Amino acid sequence: MIPIPSSDFPRVIIVGGGFAGVKLVKKLKNLPVQIVLFDRNNYHTFQPLLYQVATAGLEPDSIADPLRKQLEPVKNFFFRMAEVHTIDSENNKIFTEIGELDYDYLVIATGSRTNFFGNVSIMQHAFPLKQIPQALDLRSHILQNFEAATITEDLMEKKSRMNIVIVGGGPTGVEVAGALGELKKTILPKDYPELDFEKMSIILLEGSPRLLGGMSEVSSERAMKYLEKFHVQVYLNTLVEDYDGHGAKLSNGEEINTHTLIWAAGVKGNYPEGLSPSSLERDRILVDECNRVKGYDNIFAAGDIASMKSEEYQRGHPMLAPVAIQQGNHLAKNFKRLLKGEELKPFTYLDKGSMATVGRNKAVVDLPGNARLGGFMAWGIWMFVHLISIIGFRNKLVVFLNWVWNYFTYDKGTRLIIRKFVPKRLRMQQKELEVTK
Amino acid sequence: MIPIPSSDFPRVIIVGGGFAGVKLVKKLKNLPVQIVLFDRNNYHTFQPLLYQVATAGLEPDSIADPLRKQLEPVKNFFFRMAEVHTIDSENNKIFTEIGELDYDYLVIATGSRTNFFGNVSIMQHAFPLKQIPQALDLRSHILQNFEAATITEDLMEKKSRMNIVIVGGGPTGVEVAGALGELKKTILPKDYPELDFEKMSIILLEGSPRLLGGMSEVSSERAMKYLEKFHVQVYLNTLVEDYDGHGAKLSNGEEINTHTLIWAAGVKGNYPEGLSPSSLERDRILVDECNRVKGYDNIFAAGDIASMKSEEYQRGHPMLAPVAIQQGNHLAKNFKRLLKGEELKPFTYLDKGSMATVGRNKAVVDLPGNARLGGFMAWGIWMFVHLISIIGFRNKLVVFLNWVWNYFTYDKGTRLIIRKFVPKRLRMQQKELEVTK
């Protein structure tokens, strides 16, 4: 049994310190409950900016916030750094890597993880972008390849080390491709004057006929145009069929030599074992309109992991931060009602629009009501919305100052290879963990 | 052969991008030479602030600066990220992990590395503090131990996970002990309200009768007093005899349970193979007063690695950043003379004083001419001198802003465990590398 002081209040266990989990803990602050939060990291990750860590624009401290610090004001709160393996719903108990613990209420907010759709070879060689260590790994990998490119006289290898393929034309794929295009245009040629950057290709692959499938067609086309300005080649209707760490085989028959393939093509839910199969669907947990897991009274799910079907969202809400934040918020209110014996109220998602940035002065924004913005104005909105969404005032400030610096100096400060001692073997293990889980 | 474009100018190979190497490259900027710099990292490390990375005060980007970016303005300059293994002085050639390369002049500026004085058990379990990955490892290790302390009910283990022993009362030992004392006093109790910090001991061991042996006795006593204010226990005349990862055996017979032993007790020179044994002494390279390696015409050494004996410095200069910077500077001037066929001029070290900080508002400074400062004023001087010494304007700014933030908020932003996937095994390997080298 994990040591947690006993309490007269009911115990709410929350699994996952992402957007939904953190919001929920904060809003439960003054309720008569004991809160225990589990996360495998001791920090919350602001995932929308992970790609900037990967592309040498930010250090991890800008987008990660220690959970204990963030949640200090919450009374009756306990944090445990551990992965939750199994739920024993009959006995109201969870099993974790550090022991077991009873709950009165359980909230699953474990988010999503990279989906390789079963392609083992891609999984072993591609770089996912869902966690901070992955972003740091990618950053070092790209820089190490440029160092290696300077010392090879094999022109094919040189090109392969400089080339980068990004799979998946959603927001992450578009944003990382744009950031790499900016690096290629403004920073790398100064760092590596010996290399011919005409020979470097940045290729973004998208399986469907357009980028940013969740956004308007106007925005898709704008994003495409902006990416071209940053010398990113976009292949639509194209999938990657295989990748061995050096060459990517595409569905159009083409082969691209590249040492770096970034996988942003899909995510799937990431939940502990033990729930009834009837409460699961397509790697997500089915919840009713009050975030209650189908078939359970005292288990809830929120955020990416929760599939709440409705007239409007027949396959559940999109797996986005705003949904998670709003559900965390709403669930806290429902807990208040629950504790008072009142009826729970259904969740409705307020869609405030969606956006993606491509690079300096270039972004696309879809607002509700068919307003579609592009260019500098969209870029300003994108920055503003991201800044206010980052948890923690220090992080907001650090990110803001980094952006100002990068904008005026055309420089990015964190071109450091500091994971040199983490060999490929280890990355493989990390991925094995993801597979076997 | 490492591909470097041929040049009409003589080639100067510099091994090591520390204080001496970087200063030398910058000052060789306009001379008719081709410069090739080797370093195993792609960045320069500002070692005096490594301890702040280890104690969650700064992120690596604040104290590391990419060498390529820093040295962009230098013409005829090539950087190669590689370790240099051997010098073949007969054929004017070096052998590195990425191939061999000819030189006309060679400068060895490889600095120093941790000296465990042959104690294998300590080497395997203690944390050195000379490189950025080591500092990040230590930070994560300390935080992971606090997480572990919250879930153990074994009181002995709980204490052992909280305790920290620092070996070596030089500037690094004093500064890291002070920073840990500050963490214990202001930050950790807020993060871990469940733990009793009365039970946590921070112990600084020094083998000689006083701290900061290189400084005045007044400063030694002041440092001692300041450390006590931060609840650091100082044991003088005490050595650690053995450490197995859980318990440290001291020379006074005492045993201390601790999961964290920081080794700041000594450094030694770190040079490539191949020099004649007669040019080596006590792990340093003997140089004449013009930094020329004893017995060689076209090989120089500067910084920590160089032992330049004189009336005043009978065992060579202290292994300090100011010596390295001044030697790099001076050596560049001598290169200018050399290329013009003029006589080289001898180096003289201008000792501007020495200093160490203990924590908030507390530092000691010895100025030339017997001025000994303490307290807030010394602390201000310490900060000012460190800020102006950090290479790169962005880094100065980032460090400054972090310090302002930490000072006013009593907070440190980077309490992140992000090396969770680096297992002990890997740290061991890293150390094996250090041993076998």
Per-residue pLDDT reduced to its tens digit, B69-123: 999 999 899 999 999 999 999 999 999 999 999 999 999 999 999 999 999 999 9
B35: closest CA of chain A, how far (Å) = 14
Instruction: Look at residue B345 and tell me if it is in a domain.
Output: no
Backbone angles phi, psi at B192, to 5 degrees: -125, 70
Instruction: Report how far apart, in Å, the C-alpha atoms of B215 and of each of B211, B318, B349 are.
Output: 9, 12, 17
Residue of B77, B188, B416, B434 to mutate when probing chain A, most A C-beta within 10 A: B416
Q: Of A193-197, A237-241, B55-59, B165-169, which gets the smallest average pLDDT?
A: B55-59
User: Measured between CB atoms, does A3 come within 8 Å of chain B?
Assistant: yes
Confidence of residue B432 (pLDDT cuts 50, 70, 90): very low
B174: closest CA of chain A, how far (Å) = 26
pLDDT of B246 above 70: yes
B298 lies in the same domain as B406: no
pLDDT of B229 above 80: yes
B125: closest CA of chain A, how far (Å) = 18
Q: Which residues of B touch A147 (CB under 8 A)?
A: 42, 80-81
Instruction: Look at residue B2 and tell me if it is in a domain.
Output: no
A153 vs B3: CB contact, 8 Å cut-off? yes
User: Measured between CB atoms, does A5 come within 8 Å of chain B?
Assistant: yes
pLDDT per residue over A379-409, tens digit each?
999 999 999 888 888 888 888 988 888 888 8
Q: What is the mean pLDDT of residues B281-292?
A: 96
The reported pLDDT for the residue numbered B282 is 87
A260 lies in the same domain as A289: no
pLDDT of B421 above 90: no
DSSP notation for A89-147:
TTTTEEEETTEEEE-SEEEE---EEE--TT-HHHHHHSB--SSHHHHHHHHHHHHHHHH
Instruction: Look at residue B73 and tell me if it is in a domain.
Output: no
Instruction: Look at residue A60 and tell me if it is in a domain.
Output: no
pLDDT per residue over A77-124, tens digit each?
999 999 999 999 999 999 999 999 999 999 999 999 999 999 999 999
Q: What is the mean pLDDT of residues A22-50?
A: 96
B377 bridge partner residues: none
- Give the span between the Cα atoms of B54 and B414, in whole angstroms: 10
In sequence order, the 6+-apart residues with CB closer than 8 A to the CB of A120 are: A435
Give the long-range contacts of residues B1-5, CB within 8 A, separation 24 or more. B1/B99, B1/B100, B1/B101, B2/A151, B2/B80, B2/B82, B2/B96, B2/B98, B2/B99, B2/B100, B2/B101, B3/A150, B3/A151, B3/A152, B3/A153, B4/B34, B4/B36, B4/B78, B4/B80, B4/B101, B5/A194, B5/B78
pTM assigned to the model: 0.91
A150 lies in the same domain as A212: yes
B124 lies in the same domain as B258: yes
pLDDT per residue over A265-289, tens digit each?
999 998 999 999 999 998 999 999 9
- Averaged pLDDT of chain A: 92
Question: In this predicted model, which residue has the larger pLDDT, B110 or B369?
Answer: B110
B420 vs A133: CB contact, 8 Å cut-off? yes
- Give the span between the Cα atoms of B297 and B382, in whole angstroms: 39
Domain count, chain A: 2
Q: Please, which residues 375-414 of chain B have a Cβ atom closer than 8 Å to chain A? A: 394-395, 397-398, 401, 405, 409, 411, 413-414
A87 lies in the same domain as A142: no
Q: Of A413-417, B178-182, B283-287, B309-313, which gets the smallest average pLDDT?
A: A413-417
Q: Please, which residues 305-334 of chain A have a Cβ atom closer than 8 Å to chain B? A: none
B318 lies in the same domain as B301: yes
Instruction: Look at residue A428 and tell me if it is in a domain.
Output: yes
- Averaged pLDDT of chain B: 92
- Give the span between the Cα atoms of A32 and B372, in whole angstroms: 57
Q: Determine how many CB atoms are found less than 10 A away from the CB of residue B347.
A: 23
The reported pLDDT for the residue numbered B426 is 43
Say what percent of chain A tops pLDDT 90. 83
- Give me Rg for the CA atoms of chain A: 22
User: Measured between CB atoms, does B426 come within 8 Å of chain A?
Assistant: yes
B401 vs A405: CB contact, 8 Å cut-off? no
A148 lies in the same domain as A234: yes
The domain that contains B33 carries what CATH number? 3.50.50.60
Q: Which residue of A has its CA nearest to B56?
A: A61
pLDDT of B429 above 90: no
Q: Which residue of B has its CA nearest to A396?
A: B413
Confidence of residue A419 (pLDDT cuts 50, 70, 90): low
A71: closest CA of chain B, how far (Å) = 9
pLDDT of B413 above 90: no
Of B415, B412, B413, B417, the closest CA to residue B186 belongs to B412
B168 lies in the same domain as B95: no
B252 lies in the same domain as B157: yes
B132 vs A418: CB contact, 8 Å cut-off? yes
Confidence of residue B419 (pLDDT cuts 50, 70, 90): low
Q: What is the mean pLDDT of residues A39-56?
A: 94
Q: Please, which residues 245-304 of chain A have a Cβ atom closer than 8 Å to chain B? A: none
pLDDT per residue over A316-332, tens digit each?
999 999 999 999 999 99
CA angle, A103 then A304 then A119, to 5°: 115
B188: closest CA of chain A, how far (Å) = 10
Q: Which domain holds residue A329?
A: 11-40+82-114+268-340
B167 lies in the same domain as B106: no
What amino acid occupies position B73? P
User: Closest partner residue to A191 among B69, B401, B430, by Cβ?
Assistant: B69
Of B370, B318, B387, the closest CA to residue B349 belongs to B318
Confidence of residue A250 (pLDDT cuts 50, 70, 90): very high
User: Measured between CB atoms, does B146 come within 8 Å of chain A?
Assistant: no
B325 bridge partner residues: none
Say what percent of chain B tops pLDDT 90. 83
Q: Of B161-165, B321-325, B432-436, which gets the smallest average pLDDT?
A: B432-436
Q: Which residues of B touch A2 (CB under 8 A)?
A: 151
B422: closest CA of chain A, how far (Å) = 7
Task: Pick the last residue of a domain from A306, A340, A374.
Answer: A340
Q: Which residue of A has its CA nearest to B73?
A: A190
The reported pLDDT for the residue numbered A48 is 93
Q: What is the mean pLDDT of residues B379-407?
A: 88
- Give the span between the Cα atoms of A64 and A10, in whole angstroms: 30
Q: Residue B356 has which token pair?
A: 């160490």
- Give the span between the Cα atoms of B144 and B151, in whole angstroms: 11
pLDDT per residue over B337-359, tens digit each?
999 999 999 999 999 999 999 99
Q: Which residues of A touch B394 (CB under 8 A)?
A: 405, 409, 411, 413
- Give the span between the Cα atoms of B244 and A298, in whole angstroms: 47
Q: Which residues of B touch A99 (CB under 8 A)?
A: 151
pLDDT of A431 above 60: no
B143 vs A42: CB contact, 8 Å cut-off? yes
A421 vs B422: CB contact, 8 Å cut-off? yes
* CB pairs A-B closer than 8 Å: 145
Dihedral sign for Cα A395, B413, B394, B407, please. positive
B43 vs A417: CB contact, 8 Å cut-off? yes
Instruction: Look at residue B296 and tell me if it is in a domain.
Output: yes
- Residue B124: in which H helix or E strand, if any? helix B120-125
Instruction: Report how far apart, in Å, the C-alpha atoms of B335 and of each of B16, B27, B275, B285, B345 are.
Output: 18, 10, 21, 19, 10
B375 lies in the same domain as B420: yes
pLDDT per residue over B143-196, tens digit each?
999 999 999 999 999 999 999 999 999 999 999 999 999 999 989 999 999 999
pLDDT of A140 above 80: yes
The reported pLDDT for the residue numbered A404 is 87
Instruction: Look at residue B283 and tell me if it is in a domain.
Output: yes
pLDDT of A210 above 90: yes
Instruction: Look at residue A308 and tell me if it is in a domain.
Output: yes
B349: closest CA of chain A, how far (Å) = 32
Q: Please, which residues 171-230 of chain A have a Cβ atom closer than 8 Å to chain B? A: 190-192, 194
The domain that contains B390 carries what CATH number? 3.50.50.100
Q: What is the mean pLDDT of residues B4-30?
A: 96
User: Measured between CB atoms, does B105 come within 8 Å of chain A?
Assistant: no
A326 lies in the same domain as A281: yes
Task: Pick the last residue of a domain from A310, A340, A370.
Answer: A340
User: Measured between CB atoms, does B154 come within 8 Å of chain A?
Assistant: no
Task: Pick the last residue of a domain from A340, A373, A402.
Answer: A340
- Give the span between the Cα atoms of B366 and B215, in whole angstroms: 7
